[in-house]
């Protein structure tokens, strides 16, 4: 059965919170120093994604299969950024498909839907970052026409870790 993709609404808070937290934890498992998580990230993601779903600058869509939400995609319009040498663009921020619904085209459908909505809102291109360890996602994005353009590298400070700085997004959000 083909998943239906639709904009997220107020009733999607629970699955959005759960899936956003799972995505954050997956990244923390990839590299616990680089990818932060904290307690209660389900609630942080629930609130943040529902708020973003209301924004004209953002797109939050869910995939529904047999009446169940089995995935979500989140992207937003971003302005010119000289630090990144990146003109205004759409950013694909989050993508998650529940394990039992994978390898059936849901991930591809979510990416295409977010891309279409951001292009319709004027984004001239779509940019994303993916963990260097996430080969599954990289295969999907390559298949969908994304080309590699940047490689992020990270080095830890010597000695004990400094006090955490306050995040721009809610705790744990990627």
Ligand X SMILES: CC(C)(COP(=O)(O)OP(=O)(O)OC[C@H]1O[C@@H](n2cnc3c(N)ncnc32)[C@H](O)[C@@H]1OP(=O)(O)O)[C@@H](O)C(=O)NCCC(=O)NCCS
Work out whether 23 is an interface residue with ligand X (CB under 6 A).
yes
The angle, 0 to 180 degrees and rounded to 10, between the axes of the packed helices 41-53 and 13-30 is 120
In the block, tokens 């040498």 appear at 85
Work out whether 97 is an interface residue with ligand X (CB under 6 A).
yes
Work out whether 41 is an interface residue with ligand X (CB under 6 A).
no
Q: Least distance to ligand X from the beta carbon of 100, Å? A: 10
Work out whether 132 is an interface residue with ligand X (CB under 6 A).
no
Size of the site for ligand X (CB under 6 A): 19
Tokens at 146, concatenated: 């994304």
Work out whether 140 is an interface residue with ligand X (CB under 6 A).
yes
DSSP letter at 91 equals E
Work out whether 96 is an interface residue with ligand X (CB under 6 A).
yes
Work out whether 68 is an interface residue with ligand X (CB under 6 A).
no
Q: Among 83, 103, 120, 157, which residue sits at the site for ligand X (rule: CB under 6 A)?
A: 103
Based on CB atoms, which residue is closest to ligand X, 91 or 170? Answer: 91
> What is the Cα–Cα distance from 81 to 87, expressed in whole angstroms?
6
Give the dihedral of Cα atoms 14, 16, 18, 24; nearest 10 deg. Answer: -160
DSSP letter at 82 equals G
Report residue 48 CA to chain centroid gap: 12
Q: Least distance to ligand X from the beta carbon of 5, Å? A: 12
- Provide the mask over 142-161, with x wherever binding to ligand X is found by CB under 6 A and - wherever it is not: -x------------------
DSSP letter at 169 equals S
The angle, 0 to 180 degrees and rounded to 10, between the axes of the packed helices 106-120 and 135-143 is 60
Based on CB atoms, which residue is closest to ligand X, 23 or 173? Answer: 23
> What is the Cα–Cα distance from 21 to 100, expressed in whole angstroms?
17
Work out whether 108 is an interface residue with ligand X (CB under 6 A).
yes
Q: Least distance to ligand X from the beta carbon of 89, Å? A: 16
- Tell me which residues touch ligand X (CB under 6 A): 23, 26, 95-97, 102-108, 130, 134, 136-137, 139-140, 143
């Amino acid at each position: 059965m083909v998943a239906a993709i639709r904009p997220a609404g107020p009733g999607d808070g629970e699955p959005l919170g759960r899936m956003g937290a799972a995505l954050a934890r997956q990244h923390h498992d990839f590299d616990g120093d680089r990818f932060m998580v904290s307690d209660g990230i389900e609630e942080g993601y629930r609130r943040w994604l529902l708020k973003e779903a209301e924004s004209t600058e953002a797109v939050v869509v869910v995939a529904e299969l047999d009446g169940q939400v089995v995935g979500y995609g989140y992207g937003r319009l971003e302005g010119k950024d000289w630090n990144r040498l990146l003109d205004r663009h759409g950013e694909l921020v989050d993508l998650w498909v529940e394990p039992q619904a994978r390898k059936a085209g849901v991930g591809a459908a979510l990416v295409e839907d977010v891309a279409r909505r951001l292009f319709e809102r004027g984004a001239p291109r779509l940019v994303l970052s993916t963990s260097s360890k996430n080969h599954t996602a990289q295969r999907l994005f390559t298949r969908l026409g994304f080309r590699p353009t940047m490689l992020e590298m990270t080095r830890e400070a010597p000695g004990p870790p400094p006090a955490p700085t306050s995040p721009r997004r809610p705790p744990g959000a990627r």
